[in-house]
Chain A
Amino acid sequence: MSGAVMEGKAHKLGDHVNTDMIISATYLVTIDPVELGSHLLESHDPEFVAKMSPGDVLVGGVNFGSGSSREHAPVAIKGAGISCVIASSFARIFYRNAINVGLPILESAEASEAIADGDDIKVDLAVGTIEDMTNGKKVSFPAYPEFMQRLIDEGGLINYLLKQDA
Chain B
Amino acid sequence: MSQSRKILARHVGRELLEPGELVEAPVDLVLANDITAPLAIEVFEKLGRENVFDRDKVVLVLDHFTPNRDIASAEQCAFIRRFAHKYGVNHFYDAGEVGIEHVLLPEEGLIKPGNLVVGADSHTCTYGALGAFATGMGSTDIGAAMATGKAWFRAPEAINVNVSGKPRRWVGGKDLILFLIGKLGVDGATYRSLEFSGDGISRISVDGRLSAANMAVEAGAKNGLFPVDGLTVEYLREAGVTAEPALSEPDDYGYALEVDIDLDGIEPQVALPHLPSNSVGVSESPNVKLDQVVIGSCTNGRMEDMRLAAEIMRGKHVAPGLRLIIIPGSPRIYRRSMDEGLFEVFLETGAIISPPTCGPCLGGHMGILASGEKALSTTNRNFAGRMGHRHSEVYLSGPAVAAASAITGTITDPGEIV
Contacts and interface: CB of A to CB of B under 8 A. Distances in A.
A91 B220 contact: yes
Contacts of A63: 186-187, 190, 220
Contacts of A25: 35, 64, 362-364
Interface residues of B, number: 46
B311 interface: no
B76 interface: yes
A19 to B, nearest CB: 8
Nearest to A74: B138
Given A62-B187, A93-B136, A30 B121 contact: no
B186 A16 contact: yes
Q: Which of B76, B121, B381, B383 has the most CB of A within 10 A?
A: B383
Given A25-B362, A71-B36, A162 B46 contact: yes
A29 B37 CA distance: 11
B138 A16 contact: no
Given A29-B76, A72-B39, A96-B137, A24 B363 contact: yes
Given A67-B381, A91-B187, A156 B136 contact: no
Interface string A17-45: 01011001110111100000000001110
A69 B220 contact: no
A91 B192 CA distance: 11
B73 interface: yes
Contacts of B43: 158
B139 interface: yes
Nearest to A102: B140
Nearest to B391: A43
A12 interface: no
A67 B36 CA distance: 14
A44 B385 CA distance: 9
Interface in B106-159: 119-122, 124, 136-141, 143-144
Interface of B: 35-36, 38-39, 42-43, 46-47, 64-65, 69-70, 72-73, 75-76, 119-122, 124, 136-141, 143-144, 186-187, 190-191, 217, 220, 222, 275, 362-364, 381, 383-386, 390
